[in-house]
Structure 1
Amino acid sequence: MPGSPTPLDLAFGLLQEGRLIEAEQIMLREVDTAERTHGRGSPQWAAAQCDLGNVLFSSRQPDRAVECFRNACDAHPPTGDREAYQDHLTYRLNLGSVLTMAGRLDEAETELRHNLQERREFYGPEHPGYAYALEPLADVLAQRGLLAEARQLIEETIAIFWSSGHERVATALALRAEIVLAAGGAEPVFPHLGQLPDEVVEQIALTATDRSGRHPAMGKALLADLAGALEQRLGPDHQMTLNVLSQLANISHDAGDEAGRVEAVRRVLAAYDRQGRPEEALMAALGLAMAQDDAGDTEGGLRTYEQAHARAAGLGRRDLTAQVLRNWGLALSAAGRAAEAERRLREAVAEAEQAHDAELLGRARIALGLFLQHEARPAEAQQMVEAGLSTLDVAHPDAITGRGHLTAIKSGESCGCGDLAGAVADAFRAFVLGKLPPDLLARLDVAVEDNDFKIQVELRREPSEGELEHMNRLFQSAVAEFRGRLTSRA
């Protein structure tokens, strides 16, 4: 029988559902409990701070996570307690890693060099525990352009992990590939894949895929090399090959290479068709249609949407059919084919209603409402957008877009496409108000200036200490939740 989930398990489960406020509150209670029971600075309190830091980092709040990891590091373990000291080494490694991800490379290097020395004294220079700090330090040095030293450290890392048979050799090999590529020259980026076990090859691919988004141009070059190597090593239809190709398509878009994106998606689609995997092929076809449209091949994209619709009909899945129809209708609208667009968008709403999928129904209704607004039919548009908003979470990207357009409709303006910042601010305000006592605030003003939130609060009554702490944390979490929406596509 599996054990009961820990508070950290519950918190990460909530994060996966997008409920970051509740996730954070679980871990804050654990910190408070550890402090009351064991004392501030105790090993238990440091462990709770580390768990809170992991949750905050996973919810896109790296600066607050850094504060938690610093707290954990400052809680010195009892003398002679090896287990507590090992935990301390982990906290400092986490601190250096989060500083790296936050782009605070000078601080990251300082913490990682400190951690490396601590680990050398504790484990010795040939132990995997020492290599755990070598690898992230090599990463920081590579990002700072110190490629020679980075290469030296990553080769040392690989040697230690390899000699000990440690699984982390895969992540080190992935980082080595980045360093080799950054240095230029004719050296192979992924040598000797044929000599590695399948599980190591797959872990290299997972690591490279996860890291590729940090620098799109380099990530695209790296994944292109990796995709070719995986096709030879694992085969063109292996799932890991297809995962890398899918990420290559995403990164190619980020890097402005739409033709490369189209080619990558075509390879994925062909592989799913060869394997007789119709649902995966349908999703790849939708991706291909979007890629073709972004590449300037409007007619090609519309033909692919038509083919995707036939695929969805063959599957008998109303939810997939609704998704295809929504995207197809939007593409037709952008192409100036209004009558066809309206027909497909109305069909999307009807299919979503039959699918009993509240989120999909909301997205389909808002897409149709925005189309009607652009066609100068404001009364119909308002009705449809309001219906769409009623089934979507306030923080959903489509809800934010719909709210911006609804404001424009009600004020008699022609469109709300250009006021993403205002829509995000309105959604931010609704999100916060929905999680505070209704009698606490007399006024909450939210504005977006220079891609950041400006918040003004007027209290209706004096809050308790707990309410004030909750409100401050709520604002911090809301900023993390909505900041990404400011640059997202409508």
Structure 2
Amino acid sequence: MTTPSTPVETAFALLGEGRLVDAQNVMTRELEAVTQRHGAGSPEWASVQCDLGNVLLNGDQLDRAIECFRQAVSAAPRDHESHKDQLTYLMNLGMALRMAGRLDEAETELRRGLQERQAFYGREHPGYAFGLQPLAELLLERGDLPAARQVAEEAVQNLWSNSHAHVADAMALRAAVVDAAGSPEPLFLGLDQLPDPVVDRLARAVTGRRPVSGRVLTELVTALETRLGADHQATVNGWSALANHGRDIGDQAGRVEAIERVLASYDRQGRAEEGLMASLGLAMAQDDAGEAEAGLLTYESAYERAERIGRPELQSQVLRNWGLALKEAGRPVPAEQRLTEALTQARRGADHEMAGRAGVALGLFLQHENRLPEARTILEECLPAMDPLHPDALIGRSHLGAVLDGRTCGCGDLPATTAAAFREFVVHQLPADLLARLDVTVEDGDFKIDVELRREPAQAELEQLNNVMEAAYAEFRRRLVRS
């Protein structure tokens, strides 16, 4: 494992672990240090403001990210490199404003940035094209398809003539614009002339877009199979994206077909673990398609795959999903057997999260069967080993509360449990003597927060309180929406 070498790398590593407050604290300390060394308004200060903005952006704290990008843009360039950096900051500002739904402001900043890029680079330079793409994205979002098409085409032509790999991103954007306009013309003209790495990048750019249409994905997969072959990872990823699209729009038959193509490819390549994961996805898709018996047979096959691989955590995952499917099919006896085996297998491995998830699944099953003492024992054993913010841990805690109250279900308690976890998250990040009271409730699908301070906070403490509250809101709002 590579150790992060810079503060921003450390911050993004922390973000990947779900530690939003720690991530922003790393960058806040770096900003303070750079301000002391180089001064506010310096190129170094602007660079860290941008890094902090990117961390906040990835933590769903858009308003704070926008302010950081504004600060970065406000720094006067001192040389060619700092001027080039400022163009990046301005583009980031425009994109963040678009993500926040502030489209008029976003268009103003993106057009301003494009003008400055033309003056700095010239219209034929790829640096100019980099400013065209976010503007085309904005115009697409606004529904101004003729203007979006014109800007996207200019970006493609610029990057194509410069033989720049970013032409893949521009082509993916152009395909989205052409599709949105309902034009019957081919979406990926010129793909056959691109080098393989650029084709692969194009595939990732298309499958990474949200939203993306079934037509775009289907034409992409067809082109990839012709160019790279059915077993190339880009092609397999395209089928996976089609499966996800089928799930999102309720096309379960298309979803099943796409996963079957993925599974067949992994089997041809002898990629056992990937094949196992695909078979689990297939079982869930079959169940959602109303083919419960086919799904159960696929789970049985998946467990045979897991046994051949021999990793306890994989066996546990299959058994857990299989047991839950049997429960939904009205077969409680084999369901309990599979869920019990899932916990046994997980305990053999070193994955504490998997053991916790298996324990929660078994505990909930026992609770719903009105076997409350057994459910309590299992839940009290497994929950302390889990990340308290894990979705399964939140579900487990809500049900444990119901068990302690003598109830057979805690399914309706999840908002209250999430609110309690929100409060705990905030309290543990602040000085022990700062808060007199912190009430968190969920009303109308959102958090309602009431804070009373025990004393007047220092400026640094007030900033910490605001940062922690905003990070908690961003993180737990996502969890509340998913629940």
TM-score for both structures, normalised by structure 2: 0.96
Aligned mates of 2:340, 2:274 — CA distance in 1:
25
Deviation at 1:462, TM superposition (A): 4.1
Q: Tell whether the 8 Å contact from 1:34 to 1:45 is kept in structure 2 after alignment.
A: yes
Q: Tell whether the 8 Å contact from 1:135 to 1:154 is kept in structure 2 after alignment.
A: yes
Aligned to 1:445: 439
Aligned to 1:231: 225
Residue identity matched to 2:143:
G
- 1:410-456 CA distance string (max 9 Å, x none): 22333121333222112212222232333433332111123321112
Residue identity matched to 1:43:
P
Aligned to 2:250: 256
Aligned mates of 2:428, 2:328 — CA distance in 1:
35
**Are 2:260 and 1:266 equivalent residues in the alignment?**
yes
Aligned to 2:462: 468
**Are 2:36 and 1:36 equivalent residues in the alignment?**
yes
Aligned to 1:389: 383
Aligned partner of 1:139 among 137, 142, 166: 137
Count residues with an aligned counterpart. Answer: 482
Unaligned runs of 5+ in 2: none
Aligned to 2:369: 375
Q: Tell whether the 8 Å contact from 2:4 to 2:10 is kept in structure 1 after alignment.
A: no
Secondary structure (helix, strand or coil) at the match of 2:208 reads helix
Aligned mates of 2:93, 2:330 — CA distance in 1:
52
Secondary structure (helix, strand or coil) at the match of 2:436 reads strand
The within-5 A match list for 1:14-163 is 14-78=14-78, 81-163=79-161
Aligned partner of 1:322 among 291, 307, 316: 316
TM-score for both structures, normalised by structure 1: 0.95
Q: Tell whether the 8 Å contact from 1:362 to 1:391 is kept in structure 2 after alignment.
A: yes
Aligned to 2:13: 13
- 1:12-35 CA distance string (max 9 Å, x none): 122222222111111001111222
**Greater shift in the superposed pair: 449-458 or 161-170:** 449-458
Aligned mates of 2:452, 2:397 — CA distance in 1:
24
Deviation at 1:466, TM superposition (A): 2.2
Q: Tell whether the 8 Å contact from 1:394 to 1:430 is kept in structure 2 after alignment.
A: no
- 1:114-167 CA distance string (max 9 Å, x none): 101111111111111111111110111111111111111111111111111111
User: RMSD between aligned alpha carbons?
Assistant: 1.7
Residue identity matched to 2:146:
A
Secondary structure (helix, strand or coil) at the match of 1:125 reads coil
Unaligned runs of 5+ in 1: none
Aligned mates of 2:140, 2:409 — CA distance in 1:
46
- 1:305-336 CA distance string (max 9 Å, x none): 11101111111111100000011111111111
Secondary structure (helix, strand or coil) at the match of 1:418 reads helix
Secondary structure (helix, strand or coil) at the match of 1:394 reads coil
The within-5 A match list for 1:266-285 is 266-285=260-279
Deviation at 1:457, TM superposition (A): 2.2
Q: Tell whether the 8 Å contact from 2:430 to 2:465 is kept in structure 1 after alignment.
A: yes
The within-5 A match list for 1:185-200 is 185-200=183-198
Deviation at 1:395, TM superposition (A): 0.8
Identical residues among aligned pairs (%): 58
Compared CA separation, residues 33 and 203, structure 1 to 2 (3 A):
same
Aligned mates of 2:72, 2:482 — CA distance in 1:
34
Aligned mates of 1:474, 1:98 — CA distance in 2:
21
Deviation at 1:372, TM superposition (A): 0.8
- 1:369-417 CA distance string (max 9 Å, x none): 1111111112211221222211111110101111111222222333121
